[in-house]
Structures are given as structure tokens and as C-alpha cells.
Structure 1
């Protein structure tokens, strides 16, 4: 019996994922096409990149609730830089990424120096920077020819910037390649570098890390800055895809990124934040949403179904029914 629970614990989510794919592939001929595969991967590219940031923050025992507002802020910064101020792609991207680093540093500083609990600190950052993204554009969306406060627009969208979200490399959308590269980099960073291992040590046992001479506060701030940077990168991909800076566009990515990260806990029984599991979790959600959409399932039921999948993944990861590691607790 214990062996069955162990198998379910390690491979249950992947088995469920495979069954869902087989079902959609059998019931929907268009589901298995290469074009639809690209549609799925493009739809989860931003979510996966943002979720990787959440994963890094959770590695140090934190939880970054500001990722959605970071996406919104980077979108509005890039849009304002291009349309309002006529800046080129380099400045627009640099400013967008800098916005993410600023959010991450603020959250980390509040946690380390002001000693505010992670969730409360990042919740405060979420509201502050969500409001700042509105102030930057006077609460209006940014589109081609749309000036600021009655002034004429000084610039337009750079085709090179839009290519980040819509271009292809050997027929593969660049946004997909970027998400894959980001996943590989974070996997290698956390698993193969000294800094990555220290981040995990800080999360697993901060007291032991401090006794070993690790300046845990600096590493926690670093984790949140990485989270902010990845969220900003997701925002840049998003604004490049739609060619428009919509207000609060990043709000939905908080829940999606958190769901992908927590579903990743159940991948191969990791029971901890891991970037590979996060990528699988994002793909899992994307496949389900795509299949339900092709089945014409009403959009207002999809959040319920995604929530149900998340609950199942959490039960597999944390419940004593399947998680034999907690049998002794």
C-alpha cells in the first residue's frame, strides 16, 4: 500500500497530465497540431517566466505576491518609454528590467531591514507599484499615437521590440525560446552554482546558514530581485506581443504564476519549489485551458477547474495520504 502511495506521490501528476493530453488529442483532432502546440506554448510563456521568479523567492522561504504588479509596471514603463518619450528598444528594455529590480529590492529590503513578514511586505509592494504603474500613464492605457496629458506622442513601437513577442526563429516563436532559456538558466543557477545552493540553504535552514557565516539577508534580497527581474522580463514579452500597454494587465499573472509554482511541487515528488516542476506546472495549466477552450467550455468555469487542479496537486504534495515523507510527523 505504501508503495502505491509513493508511486502516486512521485508520478501521479505526470500521469494525470499524460491522460489529459491523450484525452484532448483523441477528442479534438485540432489539439494535436503543431500550430496548436505553438499556441499553447506561447500562451504559457509569460506565465512560466513569471512563475520562475516566484519559485526563486520561495526557494529562500519567501513568497513574492508582487509579481503581478511588477508585470504591469514593466509593461507601462516600456510602453511609456516607446510611445510617450520616443526612446529606443535598448532604453525601453533596460528601464523595464530596472523597474523589476526596483520592486524586488523594495520587497527584500522591507523583509530584511524592516523585518516585515514576506507576504505582508510583498503585498505592500504590490499595491505601491500597481498604483505607480497607473500614475506613470495617468491611469490610461498606452497605444500607438496616444500622447500623455494631451501632448502628442513622441514615438512609436519599435519593430525590434515587437519581434520579441511575435517573431520566430526557425518557425519557433521567440517567446517560447525565451521561456525555455529562462527555465534552463534558473535550473542551472539553483542547482549548479554556489549562489543557488546558498539560496536553497537559506530557505531550508536559515539559522544553520547564519551559523555557517552566510549573510542571509543579502541572499533573501537577491532572491526577490531575481523574482522582480524575471517578472519584468515577462512583462516585456507581454507588451511586445500585444503592442499595447494596458493598465493592470499583470494582475492575472499573480494567480497563474503561483498556481504553476505550487503545481510544480507535485512533479516527481519534489515537495519543494523547483524550476523544472514550475515549467511543467505552467504547461499543465496551459494545456487544460487550451483544451477546455476548444471544447467551448465557458470561460467563467475555467478558474474553478484550474483551482481544482491546484488543490489536487497540493493534496498529492502535502497530504500524509500520499506524501510518505510526512508519515512520521
Structure 2
């Protein structure tokens, strides 16, 4: 009897171990599995979905959101939340356009203006948070509105291109040089869009810094327990400021790519960027079961959103249904991943 009971107990333990292992694998790969299922469904309904041109078109469209999501994930890692990334990108693309068509600058000057604006926005956020003790969400929300208004003032609320009439009555005569437009429109080897290459480089650098350097470890430590990190000797205020500066610079780089792609300063360019970037960064929590902000997961989240929107567009889904479908799938995927993770932990 004792031997039989022991055998049954061993079998039960083995079964439970296998169940836990399956739950762990589902937790780690749930989002990727859903991404594969979406790809299969869209390909089944529309064969052109899986073409090389369309796949790189998805990556090109998702690259801007992914860049902003990388910045958001860095601020999340430090215990903050940058809500100003969309406005930073929108203001940066207006700044680049202003340098080109009003001041007759070159591509280098336009990109420098974008990056300078990103540094300024990040420093402003960081100093509000660390010096004036304004909560992260409130500080960056204020910056969001400041930048959203600032981008409208130089042009009187108009989009900016060659021939635009400015508030003082003058007409812009500058143009977007080919070198600048190539940043958003050129393709390496006539296949890979330049924005995708930029995203790959930024992602690689961010992953290496966040996951394999002391700077990244201190960032995560600050986000996990700022008091403990400070008592251990880390200059946590500097790290928080640096995280927001990094987010601002990456967002402004995204803005430069927007301007290069559309060939004008579009006042409505940043309307949906924030929500999509935040969604991508939060999806990153569930990728590979990380359960924490991570750069690579945020990029996967942006690709997930890009695949979903591209597939729905190819299937001619009504535009007023797309946000609902996107939200339902995101909520379902995150709920499934985290509930499976709790069961596996238990």
C-alpha cells in the first residue's frame, strides 16, 4: 500500500510539474503565439499580407511607435512614466520642418534641432520631477500640453511646407532636401526602409545599455526601490533625469523620421502616437514573461500593434471598429498572459 501511494504521489507531482511547465511556456510566449496566429489569419484572408513588401511596410509604420515605446520603457524602468513622448515627436518634426523651409537649413541642422529639442524636453521633465518633486505623470502631462501648444505657435496652427503662409504674412520658400527625405523614404538594397534600420540600431544600443551595463542595473534598481538604491550610493536623481533625457532624444528622433517620411510639418502627426507607444511598452511586460519594462518587449509590442492595424486595414475593417478590436485583443492577451503566470507561480 505504501509503495502504491508513493507511486501515485510521484505521478501527481510529475503531472503538476508538466502543467506548471506548460503554463510557464504559455506565459513566456503568449504574445508571440498570438502574433503568429494573427499573421496566419491575415495571410489566410489576404495572401498579399505575407509579401516581403508588406512585411517591411508594417515594420516601417511600426518603427516610429517602437522608438517612442523604447523611450517610455526606459522611464518605466526608472519608476516613472513619460506621457510627453507623442508631443515631443510631433514638436520635433515641426522643428525640423521649420529649420528646412523657413530657415533654409540642411539635413544635418534639422536633425540637430530635433535632438536638441528632445534633450531640452527630457531635461525639463527630469528637473520638474527631481527638483520640484512633481509626480512623473503630472509633470510629463504638463509637458505634453506645453509642447502640443508650442508646435502650433510658429505657424499659427497650420501644417508647414513650401509655400505655407506664416502668421506674419510671409511665405515659406525653403524645401526638404533629398538627403533629409531619404531618412524616411529610402530603402537599403531597395528592400529595408531606413527607419527600420534606425529602429534596429536604437534597439540594439538600448538593450545592451539596459540589460548588460551598470547604468541599466541602477536604472532598474531605482525603479524597484529608489530609497534603497540611494542608500546604496547611487545618484538616483541623475539617473531619473538621464532616463527622461534618453526618452526625449529617442522621441525626437522619431519626429525627425516622421518629417522625412511625409515631407512636411504635420500638426496632426502626434495625435495617436502616445497611446500606441504606451500600449506597446505595456505589452512588453508580457513578452517572454518579463513582467517588467524591457526594450525588446516594447519593440515586439509595437510590431504586434502594427501587424494588427495593417491586417485590419487589408481586410477593409471599418475604421471605427479598429480601436475596439485592438483594445479587445490587447486586453485579452495581457489578461491571459498574466493569469497564466500567476497560476504557474502558484
Normalised to the residue count of structure 2, the TM-score between the two structures is: 0.91
Check if 1:299 corresponds to 2:319: yes
| Alignment correspondent of 1:266 | 286
Inter-partner Cα distance in structure 2 for 1:63 and 1:314:
19
Matches within 5 A, 1:220-259: 220-259=240-279
Inter-partner Cα distance in structure 1 for 2:108 and 2:309:
34
| Alignment correspondent of 1:12 | 30
Cα-to-partner distance string for 1:74-131 (whole Å, 9 max, x where unaligned): 0110111111111111111111111111111111111111111111110011011111
Matches within 5 A, 1:281-296: 281-296=301-316
Cα-to-partner distance string for 1:265-303 (whole Å, 9 max, x where unaligned): 111100111111111111111111111111110111111
Inter-partner Cα distance in structure 1 for 2:333 and 2:222:
25
Inter-partner Cα distance in structure 2 for 1:157 and 1:151:
18
CA contact (8 A) 1:40 1:287 kept: yes
Check if 1:210 corresponds to 2:210: no
| Alignment correspondent of 1:170 | 189
Inter-partner Cα distance in structure 1 for 2:330 and 2:130:
30
Deviation at 1:218, TM superposition (A): 0.8
| Alignment correspondent of 1:55 | 73
Which has the higher mean CA deviation after the structures are superposed, 142-151 or 15-24? 142-151
Cα-to-partner distance string for 1:191-246 (whole Å, 9 max, x where unaligned): 12221221111111211110111110110010001000010000000110000111
- Name the SS of the counterpart of 1:322 in structure 2: helix
Inter-partner Cα distance in structure 1 for 2:257 and 2:345:
40
| Alignment correspondent of 1:143 | 161
Inter-partner Cα distance in structure 2 for 1:326 and 1:139:
53
Inter-partner Cα distance in structure 1 for 2:91 and 2:41:
39
Which has the higher mean CA deviation after the structures are superposed, 69-78 or 188-197? 188-197
| Alignment correspondent of 2:105 | 87
Q: CA RMSD in A?
A: 1.5
Question: How many residue pairs get matched?
Answer: 326
Structure 1 gaps of 5+ residues are none
CA contact (8 A) 2:67 2:199 kept: yes
The structure-2 alpha-carbon separation of the partners of 1:317 and 1:98, relative to structure 1 and needing over 3 Å to count, comes to farther
Inter-partner Cα distance in structure 2 for 1:317 and 1:272:
13
Which has the higher mean CA deviation after the structures are superposed, 22-31 or 255-264? 22-31
CA contact (8 A) 1:76 1:136 kept: no
| Alignment correspondent of 1:45 | 63
Inter-partner Cα distance in structure 1 for 2:30 and 2:90:
35
Structure number with larger C-alpha Rg: 2
Check if 1:161 corresponds to 2:180: yes
Deviation at 1:71, TM superposition (A): 0.9
Inter-partner Cα distance in structure 1 for 2:333 and 2:92:
31
- Name the SS of the counterpart of 1:301 in structure 2: helix
Matches within 5 A, 1:307-326: 307-319=327-339, 321-324=340-343
The structure-2 alpha-carbon separation of the partners of 1:271 and 1:117, relative to structure 1 and needing over 3 Å to count, comes to same
Pairing partner for 2:130 from 112, 115, 129: 112
CA contact (8 A) 2:187 2:193 kept: yes
Deviation at 1:35, TM superposition (A): 1.0
| Alignment correspondent of 2:13 | none
Deviation at 1:326, TM superposition (A): 6.5
CA contact (8 A) 2:24 2:344 kept: no
Normalised to the residue count of structure 1, the TM-score between the two structures is: 0.95
Inter-partner Cα distance in structure 2 for 1:81 and 1:118:
31
